[in-house]
A and B are shown apart, each in its own frame.
Chain A
Amino acid sequence: MENPIYVSLSRQMTLRRQLDVISNNIANMNTTGFKQQRMLFTEFLERPGMHEQISFVQDRAVVRDLSAGGMMQTGNPLDMALTGHGYFTVDTASGPRYTRAGNFRLNDQRQIVDGGGLPVLGDNGQPLAIPNGTKDIMVSGDGTVSTELGQVGRLNIVTFRNEQLMTEVGAGLYVSDEEPQAAPADTKVAQGMLENSNVKPVVEMTALIEIQRQYQSNQKLIENEHERIRSAIQKLGRTA
């Protein structure tokens, strides 16, 4: 009897979660290397009786939009952006993590570290350290880091067979169970640039309005259903 309410409720719950995803996109509008996310919904079919079927809605997945964000020129030699698919590798206590946020700097040991202070790894699995007494840091398109004294090493730029299987762990970092692969040849490092988030504010704003309106119409449906049941009880309960 109350199935319409539950169906409506299933939509309202997914809408709330969708709102959370949209808010996170908007909050990270200016986060370097952030990829916007959107929700996938699926139908959840139930057959309570012989000839009836009810479909609920279920939030199936959150997928990342892997398209490139806009490039911003900073002039800082340790700001790096990746064009094409690929991730920088950083070292954490629990193993390598991958990131698109190339706002790097030097730490007190002159190692290249990311915004959170985690060392950026070279293709030999070791952090890259800029020798003392050097001024110019040059990064070529293939990720080779050199100074006026010569080559320092090469950034470890990797990709994964299925990038959607990567899990966000916050602070712009991802982790994956898959084996990292060498990034395709057309992935290039752009020095002095940063990749902006690829959040499209207009899309997010319209999504926000749509969520709100859909929530309202579901609310209306629940209220109508409530009214229907109440009047049914009143009419049926009236003694003849």
Chain B
Amino acid sequence: MRSLAIGATGMIAQQLNVETISNNIANATTTGFKKQRAEFQDLLYQNFRRIGSTSSDAGTIVPTGVQVGAGVRVAAVARVLEQGNLTVTDNKLDVAVNGSGYFQVQLPSGDTAYTRAGNFKLSPEGIIVTADGYPVQPAITIPAEAVDVAINASGEVMVKLDGQVAQQNVGQLQLATFANAAGLEAVGDNLFLQTGASGEAVGGNPGAPGFGRVVQGALETSNVNIVQEITTLISAQRAYEMNSKVIKTTDEMMQQASQLR
């Protein structure tokens, strides 16, 4: 029976929904994490009586047809790019992006990855690196004799050297934007890679038109709204149960048919 397969598509879809929600909840406190949302679409329809077919010799037309759908599928797990809240950490090397744009990070393979997580550290050589030790691009070296680091809204990194009054510019943080940032591929570790769907990275200084500003001493929290996730979780669970009820009903009806003498 068709309804058996339809119920199964519903259960599969809701299972993926629950998986997406659990990943959001698991990353509720991950710096720079963007929540995801499962989106569903109905499947193909089978026509048993086509709309517009004639219903009598007089040529009257049936106003509606008999179309039975084949269930549901997950069309996409879309990333919601809403800005996360900024939390003040007062750590000189914590940088948050307020607005659009990603920090560029050089992977050991030489590829460039993109991230919103600005919890930067210094490498033994004094280079600004991510929490995983990947250098931020363009590379910025903080001299060992620096006593203070200041990053302004447009990404200029200034240091104050011991015994000097004037600040010294040691580099410029750059951001990358994409035509379709939701099309970036998440590779874990808060990193994203460019794909055919995202478009080419466009580099620019923070604060330039189309680019967000950077905030020193703050981190962008995840944009996961726990209350919303929990309510979605409840509705996903109920939907799963109802689809399993469809399968149970179908099974019982098939059982009766098979017991027919």
Contacts and interface: CB of A to CB of B under 8 A. Distances in A.
A197 B3 CA distance: 19
Contacts of A76: 80-82
Contact of A134 (B41, B48, B52, B210): B210
B180 A110 contact: yes
A226 B1 CA distance: 24
Contact of B179 (A26, A62, A110): A110
Interface string A164-195: 11011111100001000000000000000000
B67 interface: yes
Contacts of A30: 13-14, 17, 40, 235-236, 239
B179 A109 contact: yes
Contacts of A215: 253, 256
A130 to B, nearest CB: 9
A23 B3 contact: yes
B42 A172 contact: yes
Interface residues of A, number: 64
Contacts of A134: 210
A167 B236 contact: no
B42 to A, nearest CB: 5
Contacts of A107: 179-180, 183, 197
Interface string A197-238: 000010011001101100110010011001000000000000
Contacts of A116: 41, 75
A88 to B, nearest CB: 14
B67 to A, nearest CB: 5
Contacts of B1: 16, 19-20
A22 B3 contact: yes
Contact of B52 (A23, A133, A177, A222): A177
B63 interface: yes
A208 B245 contact: yes
Interface class of chain A by DSSP: mixed
Residue among A21, A30, A74, A75 with most chain B CB within 10 A: A30
A27 B6 contact: yes
B61 to A, nearest CB: 9
Nearest to B70: A24
B123 interface: no
A209 B70 CA distance: 21
A26 B100 CA distance: 39
B9 interface: yes
Give the size range of B's interface with the partner.
Answer: 35 or more
A205 B45 CA distance: 22
A122 B71 CA distance: 30
A207 B261 CA distance: 27
Interface stretch (A49-57, A89-97, A98-106, A151-159): A98-106
Interface in B108-122: none
A28 B74 CA distance: 10
A239 interface: no
B210 A135 contact: yes
A212 B255 CA distance: 11
Interface string B13-56: 11001000000000000000000010111111101110110000
A63 interface: yes
Contact of A105 (B6, B182, B209, B245): B182
A106 B182 contact: yes
Interface in B198-215: 198-199, 202, 209-210
A45 interface: no
Contacts of A168: 42, 45, 67, 69
A165 B63 contact: yes
A34 interface: yes
B195 to A, nearest CB: 8
22 contacts: A17-B68, A22-B246, A26-B243, A27-B6, A30-B13, A32-B40, A39-B66, A62-B64, A62-B68, A105-B78, A108-B198, A108-B199, A110-B199, A116-B41, A132-B202, A162-B63, A168-B45, A170-B41, A172-B42, A201-B242, A208-B245, A211-B253
List 4 A-B pairs, minimum CB-CB distance, nearest first: A27-B10, A133-B210, A108-B199, A24-B69
Interface of B: 1-3, 6-7, 9-10, 13-14, 17, 37, 39-45, 47-49, 51-52, 62-72, 75-76, 78, 80-82, 99-100, 179-180, 182-183, 196-199, 202, 209-210, 235-236, 238-239, 242-243, 245-246, 249-250, 252-253, 256-257, 260-261
Interface of A: 16-17, 19-24, 26-32, 34, 37, 39-40, 59-63, 74-76, 101, 103, 105-110, 115-116, 132-135, 162, 164-165, 167-172, 177, 201, 204-205, 208-209, 211-212, 215-216, 219, 222-223, 226
